[in-house]
């Protein structure tokens, strides 16, 4: 069994158009402002809900689908589901990231009133990253293990 | 002035995490960054400065509930795109009521 390696591909940044960068910035700014305004108007309990609003995900998934579709069209394939399937895989990753996001929120909730905010936020971010990577690795290992068992026919 | 700072910091942090999602492969790993605490980092940081850490902690407790809702939202998106083959835009927008309903239900059960 071979574990999937994570790779960094900086050339992918060149494929993103300027207006796509701008739309992400605007969406991010908008949801941060909205979360602040809701907290001001309705209190921190209601405002906090919008800290885990999937603001950027629709734009990211649409962008990913478009890039995958264009890649296939350049290869001469006009109709393909590849873009939607890639976006679905991206969404499965987001589901794992959201479990890690619960860890981030719990660390902030429990530790912010007692400890220095800078340390708490740093720890919470580290917890999010560690949980997200661990969950992803666990899922990959499970998928590989299942595939291996199917191939070898072992029970 | 606070609004301008929110716009700049919120936009910058969300964009930074979105860039991280662009450069990593495979896509399932890059997807982790779609649920990064980008809005939370920007918003909680400013809330701590303006209203104090105890106020921000209350926001973080609500955020934990919304993160559970995000999980159901992302699974719903994955189903609609991967199995029902909806376009990414339709799937992600049609699934938003799932996020809202789960958030509201958990909020009503646990915090109201």
ipTM, two decimals, is 0.93
Residues of chain A above pLDDT 70, percent: 97
Question: Which residues 97-126 in chain A show a CB within 8 A of chain B?
Answer: 97-102, 104-106, 108-110, 112-113, 117, 120-121, 124-125
Is-cis flag, bond preceding B40, omega within 30?
A: no
Select the residue of B10, B41, B87 nearest A29 (Cβ to Cβ).
B10
What count of Cα atoms within 13 Å lies in the side-chain half-sphere of residue B80? 20
Size of interface A-B (CB pairs under 8 A): 328
Q: B4-45, pLDDT tens digit by residue?
A: 998 999 999 999 998 888 899 888 899 999 999 999 999 999
Question: Token pair of B27, please?
Answer: 């896509």
Chain B residue nearest residue A36, CA to CA: B43
Select the residue of B61, B70, B82 nearest A85 (Cβ to Cβ).
B82
Alpha-carbon distance A129 to A52, whole Å?
A: 16
Compute the average pLDDT of residues A67-96: 86
* Secondary structure element (H or E) that encloses residue B98, with its range: helix B96-110
Residue B9: predicted pLDDT:
92
Residues of chain A above pLDDT 90, percent: 50
Task: Please indicate whether, in this complex, the C-beta atoms of A113 and B28 are within 8 angstroms of each other.
Answer: no
Residues of chain B above pLDDT 90, percent: 72
DSSP state for residue A7 in the 8-state scheme: E
Kindly state whether A95 is in contact with chain B, defined as any CB-CB distance less than 8 angstroms: yes
- Are the C-beta atoms of B54 and A113 separated by less than 8 Å? yes
Burial class (CB in 10 A: 0-12, 13-18, 19+), A66: middle
What pTM does this model have?
A: 0.91
Q: How confident is the model at residue A55 (pLDDT cuts 50, 70, 90)?
A: confident
Alpha-carbon distance A136 to A132, whole Å?
A: 6
Average pLDDT, chain A: 89
Helix axes B2-23, A18-42, angle to 10 degrees: 130
Which of A28, A82, A86, A103 to probe by mutation at the B interface, max B CB count within 10 Å? A28
Which of B41, B45, B62 to probe by mutation at the A interface, max A CB count within 10 Å? B62
Instruction: Tell whether the torsion through CA atoms of A93, A95, A96 and A97 is positive or negative.
Output: positive
Q: Closest by alpha carbon to A28, among B59, B97, B9?
A: B9
- Are the C-beta atoms of B17 and B65 separated by less than 8 Å? no
């Amino acid at each position: 069994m071979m574990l999937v390696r994570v790779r960094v591909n900086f050339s992918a940044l060149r494929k993103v158009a300027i207006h796509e960068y701008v739309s992400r910035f605007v969406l991010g700014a908008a949801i941060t402002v909205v979360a602040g305004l809701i907290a001001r108007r309705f209190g921190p309990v209601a405002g906090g809900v919008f800290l885990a609003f999937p603001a950027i995900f629709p734009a990211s998934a649409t962008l990913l689908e478009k890039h995958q579709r264009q890649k296939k069209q350049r290869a001469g394939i006009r109709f393909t589901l590849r873009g939607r399937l890639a976006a679905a895989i991206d969404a499965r990753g987001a589901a794992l990231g959201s479990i890690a996001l619960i860890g981030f929120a719990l660390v902030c909730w429990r530790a912010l009133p007692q400890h220095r905010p800078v340390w708490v936020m740093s720890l919470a971010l580290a917890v999010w990253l560690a949980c997200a990577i661990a969950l992803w690795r666990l899922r990959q290992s499970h998928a590989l293990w299942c595939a291996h068992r199917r191939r070898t026919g072992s029970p | 002035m606070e609004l301008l700072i929110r716009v700049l910091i919120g936009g910058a942090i969300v964009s930074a995490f979105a860039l991280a999602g662009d450069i990593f492969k495979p896509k399932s790993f890059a997807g982790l960054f779609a649920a990064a605490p980008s809005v939370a980092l920007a918003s909680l940081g400013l809330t701590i400065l303006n209203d104090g850490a105890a106020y921000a902690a209350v926001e973080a407790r609500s955020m934990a509930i919304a993160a559970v809702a995000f999980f159901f939202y992302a699974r719903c998106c994955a189903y609609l795109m991967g199995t029902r083959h909806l376009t990414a835009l339709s799937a992600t927008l049609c699934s938003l009521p799932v996020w809202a309903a789960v958030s509201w239900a958990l909020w009503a059960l646990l915090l109201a």
